[in-house]
Structure 1
Amino acid sequence: MTLTDDDKKTIEKYALQNAVKYGQAPQIGAVMGRVMGECAHLRPMAKEVGPVIQEILAEVARETPEQWQARLEAIAPELIEELNTKKEPDKGLKALDVEEGQQVVMRFAPNPNGPPTLGSTRGIVVNSEYVKKYGGKFIIRFDDTDPQTKRPMLEAYDWYVDDCKWLGADPDEIVIASDRIPMYYDYARKLIEMGKAYVCFCDGADFKKFKDAKEACPHRDVSPQENLMHWDKMLAGEYEEKSAVLRIKTDITHKDPALRDFGAFRIVKVPHPRPEVDDKYCVWPLLDFEGAIEDHELGMTHIIRGKDLMDSEKRQTYIYNYLGWKYPKTTHWGRVKMHEFGKFSTSLLRKSIEDGEYSGWDDPRLPTLRAMRRRGILPEAIRKFFIEMGVGETDISISMDTLYAENRKLVDPIANRYFFVWDPVEIEITDSEACTVNPSLHPTEDRGCREIEVADKVYICSEDAEKLQVGSKLRLKDLFNLEVTSIEPLQAKHIGDSIESVKKEKMKIIHWAPMDGIPVRVLSPDGEFTGIGEKQVTTELDKIVQFERFGFCRIDSVDSEVVAYYTHK
């Protein structure tokens, strides 16, 4: 099955609408999301749709904003009207339900099995912003009580704290769950003594049969004294993994099987990666139990969690009711899907890095905060992006273009401009003398000029060179005008400096790099670009620059070559 002309026109109109809306050539993720959302019949054809979108986007990128507007008005005027009349959705964070005199306490509780990703960043930003708004307390709690399946990374603890501080979300308190195991044991013992918890020796399949039949397992009604004996044996390491589980008693006939006698502790004899914990414990709390105890102990007043975790709240409520506690006020939010990354898992990313598919956690292709930071995405842009997203139960599907647009507003005024020629080709210039040119560092800000020495040759991009033919006229930006006299070898003669001639003869203006430039390597989500840049770029270490006709980049190192991380257009 192939795409029809109508399908291609649909793709074109949404591509043009995106270009008109944001004033720049669109990214494939944004257009793909809109097309697939509107055209159900194309969803099974993703492999065929992707290349067609790429072709259409390439055509759009070659045109000007004026041409985008004119073309969209011609083929889909209703989309122009949609841009003009579409009501802006409510943005920002809604007020919390705060009792008079109450100090707001909120937490961000990651499993440190890898660094923060864009997915977890929402929790950092929103919880810390609410705490700032109400003058409360922000806690980072590391839920690291799974030393086996989601094994923590030692480096990740510091990464989370560092990234939180970078985001302006400095924690008021840091809690590590694996330091507090004895406290969980004490509460478990109390629940056993109350007859609200029991040690179950059923294997998983057998317990499921009982649970599905709404029947108690044989161990459910054993006396608290006998359960305490089994509990002590669990703690002493006398039982093997999976042979015993401590369960919380609930309503075994509850209509929701997920709420029937859920597990609270299991036996895991894998040492914990933290040396201060190591093999000290072999009985570990499951997340629902650990989180319930901690939210009470830390005085949590408000919790924001994914709507997919509503069952967790219902399970934890049993513990709160048994212990006479009041459950924190809870808000649920939907999932956020970034078009460019799709569904990702920290565990799978970790394996891919270990297998050498990525260079590390800051590889520019990854959705980690470490990658965003290295690429030059500013914390202010990330905070605004997630705050304006707000808190709601609706799942959100969004493009990175929205984040890039926020970042562009911040970096455009501060980023100096430079020439970088990727995949360079030499062009020899005749009828011209060596000279020095001084393009401005910024088109609107008064920050001085660069100094570039020009001899009888310069570099231009191969994609520009391929379009030239004998007689072609062009202008080297901020330099002079040329007429091509030979293709092999590529040569051109100097035909003047007048910018008026450029307008009159509709010459294409291209960027260039001097022969004495410095090698530049740009690492981006789309691959690696190598070429030549201005030597003055070496003064911009750790800063964001704009390579003209290429995009914004953060200069990462300036040794024998410049290594830059691509930010965005």
Structure 2
Amino acid sequence: MNIREVVLKYVVINASKYGRADFKAVMGKVMSEVPELRSKAKEVVDIVQEVIKEFDSLPEEKKLELFEQYKEEKKERKKEIALPPLQSAEKGRVVMRFAPNPNGPPTLGSARGMIVNGEYARMYDGRLILRFDDTDPRTKRPMVEAYEWYLEDFEWLGYEPDETLYASKRIPIYYDYIKKLIEMEKAYACFCSREEFKKHRDSGTECPHRGLPAEDTMDVWEKMLAGEYREGEVVIRIKTDMQHKDPAIRDWVAFRIIYEEHPLTGDEYFVYPTLDFESAIEDHLNGITHIIRGKDLIDSERRQKYIYRYFGWEYPMTKHWGRVKIHEFGKLSTSSIKKAIEEGKFTGWDDPKLPTLRALKRRGFSPEAIKKFFISLGVSENDVSVSMKNLYAENRKIIDETANRYFFVENPVLIEIKGLEFDGEVDVPLSPKGGVRKLKGESRVYISSSDFNRFGDGEIFRLKDFCNVRVVSKEELIFEFADFELKNVKKGKNIIQWVPESQAVDCEVLGLERNYTGKAEINAVNDVGKVVQFERFAFCRIESFDGKLLAVFTHP
């Protein structure tokens, strides 16, 4: 074993994260990997100090080579998180489906279904079908824009459906199948009001229309299609078992009348299938082999199996998973978000405070982080309660290595440093991968009000990567130059970010609880559209610059 090689590895890995290797951190990693070195601690201390010094003296090109070398090694050591195998799945024969109601854009909840179904189709060299279950033009009225948003977000997440279907455009197919069931006397026209049928359902007794001959039900069906009935006057029900132990399974509604214009098909149809009927037919026609749905939809499977039994079809394999609750968002539903947007509580579907993929994309989240987050949750029936901090951690692993660093000071205070005799630029690290950015080392600089308020008269603080400043009189705004030596100031909170007055631009960060205003260094303008780290503040995505820099909060 070559001790110096082990030390170099951890020096490089640590420096890639923090700009410069920390002695204690490197020692801890080395001792953890090679415990037998504990008896030679003094010797290891000398080697670590030497290697850190040697690494610091290397040219930037060589450092970048080492960063790349050990980044690959680090990746290889990571355990790949994968989904559990699908029951009875065969390579090349798996067909998965994701079937949203497009009454709004995809949310984090949608992303789970998109990712898991997409991953299984990829794992088994199968097919993925995106089907819009949009046959309710009123209660969950589709949004025209949402259809395209789903396609865009699928692509953003890294999946491409093999086929995209619109249930609202396939209504005649469902008409054909309900006519067959009517002819088989497995479906009938019911004129009971909701209240009347509820009494039959709860008592387990048949409604008086259940025994209608097929030709009579067919006549009613034709009149429904001709528009001769009012809404709610008649529905078509599937015969099941009126003695079934679960009342929700008893003679459920397959078709109802809704006189409402549909966003895609206009007023072409007004007799619409329920989700259970449409989905049952489509899953068969599309050759779906496996369905992953919430355990709260177990009744849907039980209802649909009656249709499969009547037609002699084989029902797909099903997997029921538990709910995922994300603490920070509570029970925000698509309909409640839409209402809040209309009331002005949110600026739109991409408001940073929302759990939509459009909002997360705007905040600068990596689709790979979202993918890993949901795959790690698995597909068990247990309900899962997690925090966005888990997603933040996944995203941080990805962006921390590439995000450029800049200074941002909230609620800025302009101070003047007396006695500073420096006329030039300061080299400040740009990112963990290397590189520098230039800041003017001038006497008038902005610092944040929170830092300004922390330091008392006589205290010394350091402008990061520049100089040390002594507070002479905070009340009179008198500050003086102390020295340039890093060792003469305490680390941690005493090293603060700053922005030269001549290189400062107004900046606003759109946050989750509130927005933040202040000054940012002009260099950040170069990264419009990218995620950066405002040091000691947060990761943010630079959204635009029009004299004022606008950024969106990503996460701490």
Matched with 2:244 is 254
- The one of 453, 462, 480 equivalent to 1:493 is 480
Secondary structure in 1 matching 2:237: strand
Deviations 1:18-57 (A, max 9, x none): xxxxxxxxxxxxxxxxxxxxxxxxxxxxxxxxxxxxxxxx
**Which position in structure 2 is the counterpart of 1:319?**
307
Q: Write out aligned runs for 1:372-383 (5 A).
A: 372-383=360-371
1:143 aligns with 2:120: no
CA drift at 1:498: 1.0
Taking a change above 3 Å as real, the CA distance of residues 216 and 140 of structure 1, as seen in their structure-2 partners, is same
Q: 1:564 aligns with which of 533, 538, 551?
A: 551
- For 1:501 and 1:453, the matched residues in 2 are separated by 22
Does structure 1 residue 473 correspond to structure 2 residue 447? Answer: no
2:382 equivalent in structure 1: 394
Please name the residue that 2:120 is paired with.
130
Instruction: Answer yes or no: is the 8 Å Cα contact 2:426–2:441 preserved in 1.
Output: no
% identical aligned pairs: 54
Give the aligned partner of residue 356 of structure 1.
344
Among 493, 502, 508, the residue aligned to 2:489: 502
Residue in 2 that maps onto 1:542: 529
TM-score (norm 2): 0.84
Deviations 1:88-135 (A, max 9, x none): x99531111235576100010000000000011100000000000000
**Which SS does the other structure have where 1:152 is aligned?**
coil
Q: What is the aligned partner in structure 2 of residue 512 from structure 1?
A: 498
Render the CA deviation track for 1:222-271: whole Å, top value 9, x for unaligned.
11101001011111111111111110000111111001000011110010
1:411 aligns with 2:396: no
Asked whether 1:162 is paired with 2:138, we answer no
Separation of aligned partners in 1, 2:411 and 2:230: 61
Cα distance, 1:560–1:99 mapped onto 2, change above 3 Å: closer
- CA shift, 1:491, in A, is 2.3
Partner of 2:171: 181
Paired residue for 1:302? 290
Tell me the CA shift for residue 435 of structure 1.
Answer: 3.1
Change (3 A) 1:501 1:125: same
* Displacement of 1:151: 0.5
Aligned twin of 2:95: 105
- Aligned AA (1:361): W
**CA–CA distance in structure 1, aligned partners of residues 395 and 509 of structure 2:** 19
Residues 99/425 of structure 1: CA separation in 2 closer, same or farther (3 Å cut): closer
The one of 206, 215, 220 equivalent to 1:225 is 215
The corresponding residue for 2:258 is: 268
2:318 is aligned to: 330
Please, which of 227, 237, 241 is the counterpart of residue 237 of structure 1? 227
Aligned-pair CA distance for 1:490: 2.0
Task: Kindly indicate whether residue 514 of structure 2 is the aligned counterpart of residue 527 of structure 1.
Answer: yes
Q: Is the 8 A contact 1:91 1:390 kept in 2?
A: no
| Structure-1 separation of matches of 2:192 and 2:284 | 31
Shift of the alpha carbon at 1:428?
1.5
Task: Give 1:297 shift.
Answer: 0.7
Aligned to 2:456, the other structure's residue is in SS state coil
| Deviation readout 1:319-370 (Å, 9 max, x if unpaired) | 0111111000000000000011111110000111111100111111000000
Do 2:89 and 2:124's aligned partners in 1 also have CA atoms closer than 8 Å? Answer: no
Correspondence 1:212 to 2:199: no
The 3-state SS of whatever aligns with 1:121 is helix
Distance in 2 (alpha carbons) for counterparts of 1:434 and 1:261: 85
Distance in 2 between the 1:436 and 1:314 partners?
A: 76
- Equivalent pair of 2:403/2:531 in contact (CA under 8 Å): yes
Residues 482, 494 of structure 1: 8 Å contact kept? yes
| Distance of 1:219 and 1:507 partners within structure 2 | 78
Residue type matched to 1:433 in 2? E
Structure 2 letter corresponding to 1:379: P
Corresponding residue SS for 2:288: coil
Distance 2:545 2:80 in 1: 44
Is 1:367 paired with 2:355? yes
Aligned to 2:47: none
2:85 aligns with 95
Q: Choose from 403, 424, 445 the match for 2:412.
A: 424
Structure 1 Cα separation of the partners of residues 430 and 223 of structure 2: 72
Choose the corresponding residue for 2:181, options 184, 191, 195. Answer: 191
Cα deviation code 1:150-173 (max 9, x no counterpart): 000000000000000000111111
Distance in 2 (alpha carbons) for counterparts of 1:99 and 1:527? 48
CA distance in 2, matches of 1:176, 1:507: 57
Query: Which of 433, 438, 443 is residue 421 of structure 2 equivalent to?
Result: 433
2:281 paired with 1:293: yes
**By how many angstroms is 1:456 displaced?**
2.5
Task: Give how far 1:510 is off.
Answer: 1.1
The structure number with the bigger radius of gyration is 2
Cα distance in 2 for partners of 1:260, 1:450 equals 70
Residue by residue over 1:158-212, the C-alpha shift from the partner in whole angstroms, topping out at 9 and shown as x without a partner, is 0000000000111111000001000001101110010000111111000000111
TM-score, normalisation: structure 1? 0.82
User: Is the Cα contact below 8 Å between 1:420 and 1:532 reproduced in 2?
Assistant: yes
Q: In the superposition, relative to structure 1, how do residues 102 and 486 fare at CA in structure 2: closer, same or farther (>3 Å)?
A: closer
1:481–1:495 contact (8 Å) kept in structure 2? yes
* Aligned partner letter, 2:108: L
Structure-2 separation of matches of 1:346 and 1:292 = 24
Structure 2 distance, partners of 1:243, 1:380, is: 50
Q: How big is each residue's C-alpha offset from its partner over 1:545-564, in whole Å with a ceiling of 9 and x where there is no partner?
A: 10000011111111111111
Q: Is contact 2:405-2:535 (8 Å) kept?
A: yes
What's the counterpart of residue 444 of structure 1? 432
Distance in 2, Cα, partners of 1:207 & 1:486: 82
Counterpart-to-counterpart distance in 1, 2:478 and 2:355 = 44
* Alpha-carbon distance change, 441 to 481 in structure 1, aligned in 2, over 3 angstroms: closer
CA distance in 1, matches of 2:376, 2:216: 54
CA distance in 1, matches of 2:450, 2:550: 22
* 1:386 alignment partner AA: F
**TM-superposition CA deviations, 1:503-542 (whole Å, max 9, x none):** 4x99811111111211111112121001100101111011
Q: Distance in 2 between matches of 1:93 and 1:562?
A: 42
Distance change (3 Å), C-alpha of 1:550 and 1:100: closer
Q: CA–CA distance in 2 between the matches of 1:304 and 1:321?
A: 21
* Aligned-residue offset at 1:436: 3.3
Counterpart-to-counterpart distance in 2, 1:254 and 1:530? 62
Corresponding residue for residue 464 of structure 1: 451
Q: Gaps spanning 5+ residues in structure 1: where?
A: 1-64, 67-88
Contact kept, 8 Å, 1:364 with 1:525, in 2: the verdict is yes
CA distance in 2, matches of 1:399, 1:439: 38
Amino acid at match of 2:513: D
Structure-1 separation of matches of 2:218 and 2:512: 55
C-alpha distance in structure 2 between counterparts of 1:193 and 1:383, whole Å: 47
Tell me, yes or no, if structure 1 residue 552 matches structure 2 residue 542: no
Matched residue of 1:555: which SS?
strand
Distance of 2:330 and 2:133 partners within structure 1: 25
- Residue 441 of structure 1: how far off its partner (Å): 3.7
1:401 aligned partner, one-letter code? K
How many aligned positions are there?
482
